[in-house]
Structure 1
């Protein structure tokens, strides 16, 4: 997260930094990103950058978190639309998310994110469905409220889960499926221009049905 000095900046300066972050992280993946380009576009000295962030990774994940809350809210709305059905809700959620991620205004950023994603970065950018540490910043409090809203909307009577801990584990599996399917979608589209969002959606629905109903036939 940013250092305290970042939060005290004027709004226009904070926006310049975030715009510069979007530009650079949309150009290349995190590992190839250049702090020199970011500070040039943001019109700040290099020393000032380190007064606001520990390093480029710190800025990267903060930039993503500024967008992530929208996805959490979209998931909550999808669960409500599905009347508490977790699997149906994830299908609604994915159908909306996949179009924004693959074709929306931030598609270049998401492409670099998903193509280069590893286990560590997954846990940085995925919605946190477990306990989160206490933090003083208001966005964290809002996220916890959104998170509790999510759990309150899931109909546990439709699931074979004993408690919220097991529900968290199931949701993490579903989120892994969301992220891996999107990454595969980017790769397929790079290799084959004819690969469509509908095909990505069909692959996700197939995986979702396997998780929901199993992949083995009755003897």
Structure 2
């Protein structure tokens, strides 16, 4: 599914479809999601759904891609992270991302993604390049911390402090 399949839609209709996808995938794991609920909420026909998406997984991937773009867009860090290892920068990225996520409409969606859907979708890593061991370890720690915070949001500061300590020890 490419974005061009949706590019001809009016902003209103596209917004309804995106809102319906977000509602469905924020409420149900992919294995329990239903096209019927999505089309009812979006006020589109089942045939229209399959015009825009090849299947439910394609619709999910579309929303996941939108969420990541929106959540990562203000975080300009990737190039500077890969040049020199800076534990403070990794910490800042994790803290900023989790703060943005907690205040985002995508919070429940990303939480369900990490708990139920990620293992089944084979989503590619954020960077296709092979990282050196120090950067790879930092990325693993950051992603594990984000998952911990999603599962126990009241412990955010504790998890971030643990991340900071682990990054500095590397």
TM-score by length of 2: 0.80
User: How far 1:201 sits from its partner (Å)?
Assistant: 1.1
User: How far 1:62 sits from its partner (Å)?
Assistant: 1.0
User: How far 1:24 sits from its partner (Å)?
Assistant: 0.9
**1:5 counterpart = 2:5:** yes
Match of residue 160 from structure 2: 201
Q: Measured at CA, do residues 121 and 100 of structure 1 come closer, stay the same or move farther in structure 2, by a change above 3 Å?
A: farther
TM-score by length of 1: 0.64
Cα distance in 2, alignment partners of residues 63 and 112 from structure 1? 13
1:130 to 128, 131, 134: 128
Structure number with greater Rg is 1
User: How far 1:68 sits from its partner (Å)?
Assistant: 1.6
Cα distance in 2, alignment partners of residues 173 and 74 from structure 1? 23
User: How far 1:71 sits from its partner (Å)?
Assistant: 4.1
Q: Measured at CA, do residues 65 and 112 of structure 1 come closer, stay the same or move farther in structure 2, by a change above 3 Å?
A: same
After the TM superposition, list the runs of 4 or more consecutive aligned residues in structure 1 that deviate by more than 6 angstroms.
none
What do the CA deviations read for 1:6-37 (whole angstroms, capped 9, x no partner)?
22222221111101111111112222211111
**1:110 counterpart = 2:105:** no
Compute the RMSD of aligned alpha carbons: 2.9
**1:98 counterpart = 2:98:** yes
Q: What SS is found at the alignment partner of 1:76?
A: coil
CA contact 1:79–1:86 (8 Å) conserved in 2? no
Match of residue 15 from structure 1: 15
**1:176 counterpart = 2:135:** no
Match of residue 141 from structure 1: none
Q: How many residues align?
A: 169
Match of residue 137 from structure 1: none
Q: What SS is found at the alignment partner of 1:105?
A: coil
Q: What SS is found at the alignment partner of 1:7?
A: coil
CA contact 2:6–2:52 (8 Å) conserved in 1? yes
Match of residue 148 from structure 1: none
Q: Measured at CA, do residues 20 and 207 of structure 1 come closer, stay the same or move farther in structure 2, by a change above 3 Å?
A: same
Q: What SS is found at the alignment partner of 1:14?
A: helix
Structure 1: stretches of 5+ with no match in the other structure: 132-164, 190-194, 214-219
Q: Measured at CA, do residues 20 and 172 of structure 1 come closer, stay the same or move farther in structure 2, by a change above 3 Å?
A: farther
Structure 2: stretches of 5+ with no match in the other structure: none
Match of residue 151 from structure 2: 187
